[in-house]
Amino acid sequence: MSEHHSPPTQTPLTPPSGLLFAMLALGAGGLCIGTGEFSPMSLLPDLAKGTDVSVPTAGAYISAYATGVVVGAPAIAALGARMPRKTLLLMLLVIAMIGYAFSAATWSYPSMLVARFISGLPHGAWYGVSALVAASMVPPGQKARYIGYVMLGLAVANVAGVPLVTWVGQTLGWRMSFVVVTVGLVTTGVMVAGFIPAMKADSTASPLKELGALKSPQILMIFAVASVSFAGMFAVYTFITPALTEISGFTLATVPWILVLWGAGMVAGNIIGGRLADRALLPSIYAMLLWNVIFLAMYSLVGDRQIPMLITLFFLGGGFALVPALQAHMMDIAGEAQTLASSLTHSAFNISNALGAAFGGLAISSGGNWISTGWVGVAFSLIGLALMVLSVRLRGQASS
């Protein structure tokens, strides 16, 4: 596999308090940002009531956040190209704190839209820059594993952060859910300041060099792969509650626990996926795309039976193993545009979110049942697989 690492990955940096505390700081940011992304979905009726709009209208709060992610990732990555990465991480946390503090203080529909947009701006760049920082602290052969550990924060958000913050919002009022996330971000800022090693700014970097990545067919192809590969998971996730209650026959009270099972699969997938990607990157990506095809199909086939459904959902969560592998591959092909390429992956995941919800909804409104979203996912995963094969052929490289 041909490598195109940025200079910091050549000589691993030594964190001031050790690698474990540095990774905990990066993971804490992922936990807070992931919790802040998903918990408003659970609290949407409360947010709607609090800002005097209907629940469907309040759905725009989710879209505003996703728009912030898609806009913020390339913009911040390009503008912050010459900033030391530790400084950039702290700046991203400050933007997120402003967004969440503003969310807690909003008084109307327009003000909440603006608050959610601001909250989304640092999302993609945080995960992208965190992945680069993690890779800079370990030997190249462990890169994907540690990118997986960074993304563990997002997986743990689904297992623990979202249920906890949702409970706080339902018990103490929706504003407190945003306060909790804000406090978490402040704590993360202290951890980043203390535990992440200082890094020199890349004097050769520039916004134009970073934006030059957008001209690379390879980077655009992997962006497309990431944009469709997770659409299936989001198609299923968006309509999981009615699927579990009306098709599988679970009670509404058991749904949060079933989602914890899904989150546990995500945690396992992150850990295993990162290790597999370090051993054989491209074969791992192919295998994970096929894994998603199989278990998305299983979701639609066994959804009316409870035990097979639970097993399938755990393995569907495991499909999250694709995240560190795609992130590592994007960094390999990015050349000098490391920050932008790394951040773009997370813009792509939010495009997947929008595609999955839209096409899943279309399948249901066209006469499909609640578990027909699995077939939508199969179609997207097959498109992702075809694009990945095309990408590798385009690069003239048949294997890792």
The pLDDT tens digits for 344-359 are 888 888 888 878 888 8
pLDDT at 6: 42
Side-chain half-sphere CA neighbours of 266 within 13 A: 22
- Rounded to whole angstroms, the Cα distance separating 233 from 249 reads 21
Nearest Cα residue to 380 out of 301, 289, 312, 316: 289
Task: Summarize pLDDT for 207-217 with one digit per residue, the tens.
Answer: 777 777 677 78
- Rounded to whole angstroms, the Cα distance separating 326 from 101 reads 33
CB atoms within 10 A of CB 391: 22
Mean pLDDT of 194-199: 92
- pLDDT > 70? residue 94: yes
pLDDT at 397: 53
Out of 26-30, 301-305, 314-318, 394-398, which region has the weakest mean confidence (pLDDT)?
394-398
- Rounded to whole angstroms, the Cα distance separating 204 from 363 reads 49
Q: Give domain status of residue 2, yes or no.
A: no
- pLDDT > 50? residue 8: no
Q: Is 348 helix (H, G, I), strand (E, B) or coil?
A: helix
- pLDDT > 60? residue 5: no
Q: Give domain status of residue 1, yes or no.
A: no
- Rounded to whole angstroms, the Cα distance separating 184 from 153 reads 12
Task: Summarize pLDDT for 38-79 with one digit per residue, the tens.
Answer: 888 778 888 989 999 887 788 788 888 988 998 898 888 888
pLDDT at 2: 39
Q: Give domain status of residue 260, yes or no.
A: yes
Out of 47-51, 79-83, 370-374, which region has the weakest mean confidence (pLDDT)?
79-83
Number of structural domains found in the chain: 1
Tokens 């039976």 correspond to 305
Task: Summarize pLDDT for 251-265 with one digit per residue, the tens.
Answer: 877 887 888 898 899
CB atoms within 10 A of CB 394: 11
Q: Give domain status of residue 400, yes or no.
A: no
User: What value does the mean pLDDT of the chain take?
Assistant: 88
Q: Confidence band (pLDDT; 50, 70, 90) for 285? A: very high
Q: Could you tell me which residues come within 8 angstroms of residue 394 by beta carbon, excluding any fewer than 6 positions away?
A: 217, 218, 221
Mean pLDDT of 387-400: 75
Nearest Cα residue to 380 out of 236, 217, 166: 236
Are 174 and 43 contacting, i.e. CB atoms less than 8 angstroms apart?
yes
- pLDDT > 60? residue 327: yes
CATH number at residue 323: 1.20.1250.20
Higher model confidence: residue 338 or residue 2?
Answer: 338
Q: Give domain status of residue 216, yes or no.
A: yes
356 is written with which tokens?
């999955």
Q: Give domain status of residue 271, yes or no.
A: yes
pLDDT at 1: 38
87 is written with which tokens?
């400084």
284 is written with which tokens?
């791992």
Which range marks the domain in which residue 196 is found? 7-395
Return the biggest CA–CA distance within the chain.
59
Q: Is 16 helix (H, G, I), strand (E, B) or coil?
A: coil
List C-alpha distances in Å: 338 to 131, 168, 277, 291, 394.
10, 38, 19, 28, 20
- Rounded to whole angstroms, the Cα distance separating 71 from 93 reads 17
